[in-house]
Every structure is written in structure tokens, then in C-alpha cells.
């Protein structure tokens, strides 16, 4: 029989497709396709996660903040990249 969880948040399975989070009694899959910041992360970086507020997760070793709702419904939170126009400035 499995023991009682000692933490309210736990990463309990990682694969080449993503990893599973256990938040109290809720299991959430975090696919790398939707959350690319984790794809090249080490197991230590992925498993070092904090749950500072009810709808906020933080991975301090990666400096990644996510809303829990974005994991539950990633299609409602599309990734948007903005290009930055960097212009060369010549000094006189």
C-alpha cells in the first residue's frame, strides 16, 4: 500500500513527452510541447517546484512561473513570442 504523501505538490513521473504533477489530489500532465521551458531541464530542476499560492507554481532553478490553470487548460494560454527590434546605435 502506498504511503501518505508528505508534500502537497510533487513531480512523480517524467518522460520524454513531459512530466506529471500531483497537486494535493489532482494529477496534471505538463507536456513539453506546450511548456518548452522544461524540455531540456534536469530532473532536479523539474522536481524543485514551489506552490506559493493556490493558482501559482514556481520552479526556482529554472525561474519559471506558471498559473495552475495554464496547465489544466493550455489552449486558453497560447504561447506568444514577441520579437524585439534591436537597432544598432553608433556612438559619436
Q: Which pLDDT tens digit goes with each residue over 4-42?
A: 444 589 998 889 999 999 999 899 999 999 999 999 999
- Residue 30: CB atoms within 10 Å: 21
CATH code at 9-76: 3.30.2020
Q: Give the pTM.
A: 0.74
Q: Which pLDDT tens digit goes with each residue over 52-72?
A: 999 999 999 999 999 999 999
Strands (E) in the chain, as ranges, are 9-14, 18-23, 26-31, 50-53, 56-59, 64-67
Q: Where are the domains of the chain?
A: 9-76
Confidence of residue 87 (pLDDT cuts 50, 70, 90): low
Amino acid at each position: 500500500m502506498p504511503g501518505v504523501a508528505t508534500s502537497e505538490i510533487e513531480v512523480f513521473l517524467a518522460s520524454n513527452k513531459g512530466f506529471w504533477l500531483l497537486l494535493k489530489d489532482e494529477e496534471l500532465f505538463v507536456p513539453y510541447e506546450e511548456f518548452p521551458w522544461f524540455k531540456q531541464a534536469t530532473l532536479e530542476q523539474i522536481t524543485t517546484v514551489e506552490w506559493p499560492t493556490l493558482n501559482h507554481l514556481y520552479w526556482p532553478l529554472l525561474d519559471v512561473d506558471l498559473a495552475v490553470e495554464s496547465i489544466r487548460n493550455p489552449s486558453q494560454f497560447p504561447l506568444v513570442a514577441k520579437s524585439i527590434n534591436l537597432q544598432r546605435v553608433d556612438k559619436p
